[in-house]
Chain A
């Protein structure tokens, strides 16, 4: 079945530590890939997206993601987490002409 999987429901990291949020997809073709962040009670903010080309994508707020076709993954990374990064993170995919499907989300807690 076609799906987007975020294996980690909740991750806690210390401020200043590195971060990696996992995302795997299960589709016949390579979809367009996105990462969004959502603060409580707020809408979605696009962090970065991958359509084609360079598999390492730079986004806003110091985030980056790497597309690995062989692993059907699009993991989000940040070298040094700030307290303001605490939020819910969603991976999403779009197949050409179709709608966007979201992973279950990963809640990030940042310890002082």
Chain B
């Protein structure tokens, strides 16, 4: 149990285009989902926290208009990178949490974004 999927697993796009990444909890209801960003050889940095049905909370320094997060259901959150640029190239990882799980998060496999 507690499986989280991400789609796509990798994506290449042209500069200026938008890319949507999906994060799904497959066998549980995720009241909260998190989006992390990881640059090569670095740790995971939290970008934003989203609760189902409400607006996401962004970490300081993360542009909310550039990284649009939607958590429309208890099993799906999406991250849209708008007007992507090469510096947005990174590994994006989502995680999901449900109440009663001792605040444990379950991580997706990640999405590799390359912006040309």
Contacts and interface: CB of A to CB of B under 8 A. Distances in A.
Given A32-B104, A94-B103, A94-B104, A99 B93 contact: no
Q: How large is the interface on A (under 10, 10 to 19, 20 to 34, 35 or more residues)?
A: 20 to 34
A34 to B, nearest CB: 8
B34 interface: yes
Contact of A43 (B41, B49, B108): B108
B95 interface: yes
Contacts of B105: 94, 100
Interface in B95-116: 95, 102-105, 107-110, 112
Interface residues of B, number: 19
B104 A105 contact: no
Nearest to A31: B103
Given A94-B103, A94-B104, A99-B34, A44 B46 contact: no
A101 B46 contact: yes
A49 B103 CA distance: 11
B43 A96 contact: no
A28 interface: no
B62 interface: no
A73 to B, nearest CB: 18
A84 interface: no
Contacts of A112: none
Nearest to A91: B43
A87 B93 CA distance: 17
B72 interface: no
Contacts of B107: 36, 43-44, 46
A90 B36 CA distance: 14
B44 interface: yes
Given A43-B107, A105-B43, 19 more contacts: A32-B102, A32-B104, A42-B109, A44-B44, A44-B93, A44-B107, A49-B104, A90-B44, A94-B103, A97-B103, A98-B103, A99-B46, A100-B46, A101-B46, A102-B43, A102-B44, A104-B43, A105-B42, A107-B41
Interface of A: 32, 34, 36, 41-44, 46, 49, 51, 90, 94, 96-105, 107
